[in-house]
Amino acid sequence: MSIDTKINPPYSSLADIYDIVMSDVDYETWADYIDEIIITHNPEANHLLELACGTGTIALSLEELDCYDITATDGSSDMIRVAKKKGASVNSKIHFEVMDFNNIKSNKSYDVVYLIFDSINYLKEEELILKLHQDVKNILAPNGIFIYDFTTPRNSRKAVKYLDNDTHTIGNKYRYQRESSYDAKNQIHTNVFQIEQLKQTGNIGTDLFKEIHKQKIYSQDYMCSIIEKTEFTILEAYDGFQLLPAHKNSLRITMVLQ
Ligand SMILES: C[S@@+](CC[C@H](N)C(=O)[O-])C[C@H]1O[C@@H](n2cnc3c(N)ncnc32)[C@H](O)[C@@H]1O
């Protein structure tokens, strides 16, 4: 029996299994790292805006610290649906909403805008990165900071070795396969998720969905050359999850801009 594969937009069919796919990620430590950066660079910060919050795990973890008022946004309505459900289950006060970070709209200003887990790598053109910086600047309070991380070519080279052909079955409900490849010449990292929603145990009667995720991979020098064209000052470029300077071998770099 042949099964038709439907190509869905990124982070639509993946939303319901995203937290399981990311179960190896230590989000609490990541949230603590963002908190440390805030304490270091804008200790009075209260109002936080998360862009590309996904299913809201970082925002919910930061909320547990009981010192931030958080708005968390994502471009995918499916990711926000899951985030809202998680928020409701813990009586969260986080305001979750759908927002494309290419089209930021807010009447409020924020002490911190943050965008994590290489979500900025979804922007494949310099003009879009420049626009994002300008739009964030327009909604930052005085002394406000913009925090984001991006992954480097070295990370992509290493990551494909363990992400490619990653196959898992989740209960008797889903099965997914991830193919991961890196085009070093064009610096494009592609992850293809093939998701089967099992209607009953086994192979019969499955729905097949495919999502193709493409990210542009940036070196530190290139990202810094873009930032130089913005009105931001680089406070720090941190290596990985540490408060130490990034270097040419860094896999993930966290920028702190003001
Ligand atoms: C790798 S996931 C990271 C999600 C979340 N930050 C986390 O740590 O789990 C990338 C996220 O970026 C979001 N995204 C991609 N392009 C976007 C855009 N233009 N506007 C808003 N969100 C976007 C996706 O919907 C997805 O939730």
Per-residue pLDDT reduced to its tens digit, 112-123: 999 999 999 999
Same fold across 5-13+154-216 and 18-151+218-257: no
Give the integer Cα–Cα distance in Å for 50 and 72: 5
Q: Are 62 and 93 in contact (CB under 8 A)?
A: no
pLDDT confidence of residue 1: 46
pLDDT band at 110 (very low <50, low <70, confident <90, very high): very high
pLDDT confidence of residue 3: 62
Mean pLDDT within 27-32: 98
Strand, coil or helix: 214: strand
CB-based pocket (< 6 A), ligand 1: 11, 22, 52-54, 57-58, 74-76, 79, 100-102, 116-117, 119, 122
25, 48, 122, 163, best to mutate for ligand 1 pocket (most atoms within 8 Å of CB): 122
pLDDT confidence of residue 200: 66
List the chain domain ranges: 5-13+154-216, 18-151+218-257
pLDDT for 108 beyond 70: yes
Predicted confidence (pLDDT) per residue in 240-254, tens digit: 999 999 999 999 999
The strand order across the sheet containing 174-183 reads 5-7, 206-216, 188-198, 174-183, 166-170
What percent of the chain clears pLDDT 70, i.e. is strictly above it? 97
The residue type of 205 is G
Phi, psi of 89 (to 5 degrees): -70, -15
Residue written as token pair 């994002």: 132
Predicted confidence (pLDDT) per residue in 33-56, tens digit: 999 999 999 999 999 999 999 999
pLDDT band at 201 (very low <50, low <70, confident <90, very high): low
Q: Are 239 and 37 in contact (CB under 8 A)?
A: no
pLDDT confidence of residue 100: 98
pLDDT confidence of residue 206: 80
Mean pLDDT within 218-227: 98
pLDDT confidence of residue 202: 54
Tell which CATH classification among 3.40.50.1000, 3.40.190.10, 3.40.50.1400, 3.40.50.150 matches the domain 18-151+218-257. 3.40.50.150
* Alpha helices by DSSP H, the chain: 18-21, 27-41, 57-63, 77-89, 126-139, 153-163, 220-227
Query: Measured in angstroms, how far is the CA atom of residue 200 from the centroid of ligand 1?
Result: 31
Query: Measured in angstroms, how far is the CA atom of residue 230 from the centroid of ligand 1?
Result: 23
In 3D, which of 214, 172, 168 has the Cα closest to residue 197?
A: 172
Total-model pTM: 0.95
Whose CA is closest to atom 11 on ligand 1?
A: 52
pLDDT band at 203 (very low <50, low <70, confident <90, very high): low
pLDDT band at 221 (very low <50, low <70, confident <90, very high): very high
The residue type of 248 is K
Q: Which CATH architecture has domain 5-13+154-216?
A: Single Sheet (2.20)
pLDDT band at 204 (very low <50, low <70, confident <90, very high): low
